[in-house]
Chains A and B, each alone.
Chain A
């Protein structure tokens, strides 16, 4: 990394290298989860991994791409539906669950050419309309039997313990791949362009950014990610009822996790997913009060910590554990020894 005498472009810091090493170690530890966690914790952790995917995807789309969508449940539902269809067509169940998100990604490409012409609030609501439309169309499929729904029957062939472990590993692998993909994309030259479009679309075009193609990339990535979350949820629930999967609550959860953790920070949504997961674990059984609590929590955060927990920490201390940005470092003029 050069940059003229005395100036270095820094992308990793000792802190972030340490954090990434810890993260690597944690992933290795998690990979052996089913051997020491027990059935309950394995199931719960699978849910947490799905939440992390959802939060990371909504953050990539809204926090970095500036594309605020309240219709990501469209892809969540289509991911599950595509898995049902692929399995019905004779594919092995887990293969269907892996291929379904990619299929949804393909569908999202033509959709993006329409959706991305909308700006701001129009895009947000337009995506919700698309989600409702997708819901209705899936209901028309005879295989789904309307709101009665169906299930991924092929999964019943696995023993419960095997299925639990496979679901966990699949969720861990998909989460790792997707979060790594978002991370690498945001660290690349394209990642800087995505943020430039978020901050000022016309100025981005005027410095050479291909606006539509770049937006399309982040849109499709988020669609694949949300579809993966839907397919993984189907793997844990087995049953598929359109009403459940195409519910706007999924996007509401994504927004909650991202806002609490920190919109537009890489680490924040992961933290938000853990917080949401903890709240759900401890208060999820308390019915309506659980939802009231979630709403109050979101309200307090938007009032007092608008940048979320990680956003506030970053503003205060300038820390980044998974850095996607660039910092110039000014070194004292190097002597001969430095070469």
Chain B
């Protein structure tokens, strides 16, 4: 494994919840300026892996390295300050605060900016995500698409090097998903590396260069999207055995 080229790597990750093993002996690496998609049936351990990478969960075994340094013991806030940002599967806005204030917290805490720089960073993130018009609205009044945009804008305001996206396309119409894809492509042009969990393949494949397929807490196939999806183990995981 080429250590030098990966920005985020996980080795031998195990995550147990009591007797249940959600992630079992998993290795993962994300190259600098790479976009990787993670797919797999429900319960495959995708979100658990993302939580381990983000620092929300401590792994039961294994290490997470970011830019060559072991970050396994750092909590989510510290990892965010280093440059690992995330979005949540179910959006978690700060409901009683305005959209701008939501993003400002991220810019000043995660991004470590003060004064005018925090303002500028927040405004730039809102502009990129097309949210300037709703900047003064309480976040609880937003609809689903805007809530997902806010997840992106908030993550972006922390100046991330790596962005972890958890089913950001779920529940959106194709038109709405296309708007998010346009934003995420813009982030790719800014060389932010991306790990993206998504069930909606045709949306995911517009962005990612590599695909990791998971089932029962393990990687069952990985590689270029077409190759990975054609792997017999992947077909079996999705459709059951005996199908050709």
- Interface set of A (CB-CB < 8 Å, partner B): 1-4, 7, 9, 189, 192-193, 195-196, 198-200, 202-211, 264, 325-328, 330
Q: Among the listed B56, B96, B123, which residue makes an inter-chain contact with A328, where contact means beta carbons less than 8 Å apart?
A: B123
Chain A contacts for B135, CB-based, 8 A: 328
A328-B136 contact, Cβ under 8 Å, with A1-B119, A200-B93: yes
Q: Does B185 contact A (CB under 8 A)?
A: no
Q: Which residue of B lies closest to A209 (CB)?
A: B109
Q: Which residue of B lies closest to A214 (CB)?
A: B109
Chain A contacts for B120, CB-based, 8 A: 2-4
User: Nearest chain A CB to B105's CB is how many angstroms away?
Assistant: 5
Q: Which residue of B lies closest to A318 (CB)?
A: B136
CB pair A203 B118 closer than 8 Å: no
CB pair A207 B158 closer than 8 Å: yes
Chain A contacts for B210, CB-based, 8 A: none
Q: Does B97 contact A (CB under 8 A)?
A: yes
Task: Please measure, in the bound complex, the distance between the C-alpha atom of A330 and the C-alpha atom of B135, giving whole angstroms.
Answer: 10
10 cross-chain pairs, A with B, having the tightest CB-CB distances, nearest first: A208-B110, A203-B92, A199-B94, A207-B106, A208-B109, A208-B80, A189-B108, A328-B135, A205-B76, A200-B92
A203-B88 contact, Cβ under 8 Å, with A189-B109, A192-B97, A327-B136: yes
User: Nearest chain B CB to A118's CB is how many angstroms away?
Assistant: 19
Q: Which of B95, B105, B157 has the most CB of A within 10 A?
A: B105
Chain B contacts for A210, CB-based, 8 A: 77, 109
Task: Please measure, in the bound complex, the distance between the C-alpha atom of A115 and the C-alpha atom of B95, giving whole angstroms.
Answer: 25
Q: Among the listed B75, B94, B123, which residue makes an inter-chain contact with A203, where contact means beta carbons less than 8 Å apart?
A: B94
CB pair A195 B96 closer than 8 Å: yes
CB pair A207 B123 closer than 8 Å: no
Chain A contacts for B86, CB-based, 8 A: 206
CB pair B110 A195 closer than 8 Å: no
Q: Among the listed A199, A202, A326, A330, which residue makes an inter-chain contact with B96, where contact means beta carbons less than 8 Å apart?
A: A199
Chain B contacts for A211, CB-based, 8 A: 77
Chain A contacts for B94, CB-based, 8 A: 195-196, 199-200, 203-204
Q: Which residue of B lies closest to A203 (CB)?
A: B92
Q: Which residue of A lies closest to B91 (CB)?
A: A203
Chain A contacts for B106, CB-based, 8 A: 207-208
Q: Does B154 contact A (CB under 8 A)?
A: yes
Chain B contacts for A200, CB-based, 8 A: 92-95
Task: Please measure, in the bound complex, the distance between the C-alpha atom of A189 and the C-alpha atom of B127, giving whole angstroms.
Answer: 21
Chain B contacts for A189, CB-based, 8 A: 105, 108-109, 114, 118
User: Nearest chain B CB to A300's CB is how many angstroms away?
Assistant: 23
CB pair A195 B97 closer than 8 Å: yes
Task: Please measure, in the bound complex, the distance between the C-alpha atom of A227 and the C-alpha atom of B36, giving whole angstroms.
Answer: 54
Q: Does B98 contact A (CB under 8 A)?
A: yes
CB pair A192 B104 closer than 8 Å: yes
Q: Among the listed B54, B105, B112, which residue makes an inter-chain contact with A196, where contact means beta carbons less than 8 Å apart?
A: B105
6 contacts between A and B (CB under 8 A): A2-B119, A192-B97, A205-B80, A208-B77, A326-B104, A328-B135
User: Nearest chain A CB to B32's CB is how many angstroms away?
Assistant: 21
